Amino acid sequence: MNEDTPAVISDDYAAVLAEIKERVRSAQYAALKAVNKELISLYWDIGRLIIERQQGESWGRSVVASLARDLQVEFPGMSGFSPSNMWRMKLFFETYSSNEKLAPLVREISWSHNLLLPDEWKGQRPAPEQVAMLLEGVG
């Protein structure tokens, strides 16, 4: 409450204000989770597309660097399209796509948390229990 709030309605007003604040915070959190899920899905698809194009074609570092540059020009306010991040997207898809139990779990973790997955998991497939433990710590 602030100094402009009439004292007469303060008890009821305070309860309604508290309820609305909680609802706003809840909606903000839900929106953040939805945005994160879409971003992870986008990165998954970009990784898949890079892998598909590399198979049977001569796609290498220069093509991915060109993609990164062109995406940065097209979407100047959006971060995440550096060449190194594009390679991380490829590795993300490559690492988890063939594991039916694990793929949905890592897609629930934010991109920054996916990048921080323990180094011993890189290049291998962690057990679903390991990722579930990480999810519990992030949630």
Which tokens go with 98?
């063939």
Q: How far apart are alpha carbons 123 and 49 in whole angstroms?
A: 19
- The model's pLDDT over 101-137, given as tens digits with 9 standing for 90+, comes to 878 888 888 888 787 765 555 556 566 676 666 666 5
pLDDT, tens digit, 9 for 90 and up, residues 3-61: 665 655 677 888 999 999 999 999 999 999 899 999 999 999 999 999 998 887 777 77
Q: Are 28 and 50 in contact (CB under 8 A)?
A: no
- Single-letter residue type at 86: M
Q: Of 48, 46, 41, 42, give the one whose Cα is nearest residue 83.
A: 46
Nearest to 105 by CA among 24, 97, 90: 97
Is the full-model pTM beyond 0.85? no
